């Protein structure tokens, strides 16, 4: 005969075993619904944090989840929302279907997509050429939050085709293009672009039409579509400094720019791909290709 004490202990053991079993079965499911905390990484150019930087999690992302956090990022065109009313650079157009997280990376795809519902508009460029939207879909991802002054860093690999892979910012009447890489231009006489780091400031004040007020380009030691590298820009009230793999490669000051210094308000981050017809267009056999982003990190002063 089983004693009352033994029976009570047996019942307790069963309850404990069931509780542990249930916890084991559900813990992974619970974890997948928790947004991972971003560690306080430091800029590659300042590993000792002499700049006293603090990571701004609202505009930083490691892209380690299975789906993009759309509370943090706008996929251009989602629910009909187009920041700056920009649908893409013809003949390509932004598609919400061309954004995915895979292998711990944000991937922005350019693909041959004749079945996409393209705009009927026609875009005319400064050289007089005109293109309708057709055949090629791309994508853009934009931060929901803005920031004012900071150190912006991205680890990425450009798409290996004749489209842009860009890291840029927009604000009140201003645009800062940290880079607009062209991983593999279709025009063979422009193969030098595969190593080119071009940065630009555009003025979008009324009547300015987005004209460039400053631009600089230099040649890197590597092709931007060959592997992942870290690129960065430090922006404060007096200077812009640009980095590649932690090394300062160029800078410009407010004093040097004078009235052309228009970066006087908060900025939103953009990453996207666009067709640049003046560098040649990708063909069906050139696609699909991905602009791959391992992380975006923005630090600000404490």
pTM of the model: 0.87
The pLDDT of residue 6 is above 70: no
Q: Are residues 199 and 89 in the same domain?
A: yes
Residue 27 is predicted with a pLDDT of 45
b or e along 41-69 (b: 16 or more beta carbons within 10 Å of the residue's beta carbon)? ebbbbbeeeebebebbeebbbbbeeeebe
Q: Are residues 245 and 116 in the same domain?
A: yes
Residue 16 is predicted with a pLDDT of 46
The Cα–Cα gap between 276 and 230 comes to: 24
Q: What is the pLDDT of residues 127-142, one digit of tens each?
A: 999 999 999 999 999 9
Q: Is residue 185 part of a domain?
A: yes
Per-chain mean pLDDT for the chain: 91
Q: Is residue 229 part of a domain?
A: yes
Q: Are residues 254 and 297 in the same domain?
A: yes
Q: Are residues 6 and 108 in the same domain?
A: no
Range of the domain at 5: 1-34
Domain at 140, CATH number: 2.60.120.200
The pLDDT of residue 14 is above 60: no
- Kindly state the percentage of the chain with pLDDT values over 90: 86
Q: Would you say 240 and 248 are in contact if contact means Cβ atoms under 8 Å apart?
A: no
The pLDDT of residue 111 is above 80: yes
Domain total in the chain: 2
Q: Are residues 5 and 50 in the same domain?
A: no
Q: Is residue 297 part of a domain?
A: yes
Residue 302 is predicted with a pLDDT of 80
DSSP per position, 242-267: EEETTEEEEEEEHHHHGGG----S-E
Q: What is the pLDDT of residues 164-212, one digit of tens each?
A: 999 999 999 999 999 999 999 999 999 999 999 999 999 999 999 999 9
The Cα–Cα gap between 128 and 118 comes to: 22
Q: Are residues 52 and 177 in the same domain?
A: yes
Residue 39 is predicted with a pLDDT of 62
The pLDDT of residue 239 is above 50: yes
Q: Are residues 170 and 220 in the same domain?
A: yes
């Amino acid at each position: 005969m089983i004693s009352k004490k033994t029976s009570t202990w047996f019942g307790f053991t069963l309850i404990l075993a069931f509780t542990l079993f249930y916890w084991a079965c559900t813990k992974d499911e619970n974890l997948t619904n928790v947004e991972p905390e971003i560690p306080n990484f430091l800029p590659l150019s300042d590993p000792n944090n002499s700049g006293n930087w603090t990571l701004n999690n609202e505009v930083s992302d490691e892209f380690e989840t299975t789906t993009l956090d759309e509370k943090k990022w706008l996929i251009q065109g989602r629910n009909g929302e187009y920041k700056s009313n920009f649908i893409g650079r013809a003949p390509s157009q932004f598609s919400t279907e061309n954004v995915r997280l895979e292998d711990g990376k944000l991937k922005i795809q350019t693909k041959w997509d004749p079945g996409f519902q393209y705009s009927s508009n026609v875009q005319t460029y400064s050289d007089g050429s005109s293109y309708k939207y057709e055949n090629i879909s791309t994508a853009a991802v934009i931060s929901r939050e803005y920031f004012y002054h900071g150190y912006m860093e991205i680890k990425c690999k450009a798409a290996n085709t004749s489209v842009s892979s860009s890291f840029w910012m927009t604000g009140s009447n201003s645009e800062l293009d940290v880079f607009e890489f062209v991983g593999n231009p279709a025009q063979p006489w422009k193969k030098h672009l595969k190593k080119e780091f071009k940065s630009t400031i555009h003025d979008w004040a009324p009547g300015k039409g987005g004209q460039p007020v400053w631009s600089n380009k230099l040649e890197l030691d590597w092709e931007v579509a060959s592997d992942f590298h870290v690129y960065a820009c430090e922006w404060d009230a007096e200077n812009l400094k640009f980095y590649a793999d932690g090394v300062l490669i160029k800078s410009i000051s407010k004093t040097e720019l004078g009235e052309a210094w228009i970066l006087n308000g908060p900025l939103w981050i953009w990453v996207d791909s666009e067709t640049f017809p003046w560098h040649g267009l990708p063909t069906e056999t050139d696609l699909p290709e991905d602009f791959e982003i391992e992380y975006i990190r923005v630090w600000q002063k404490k």
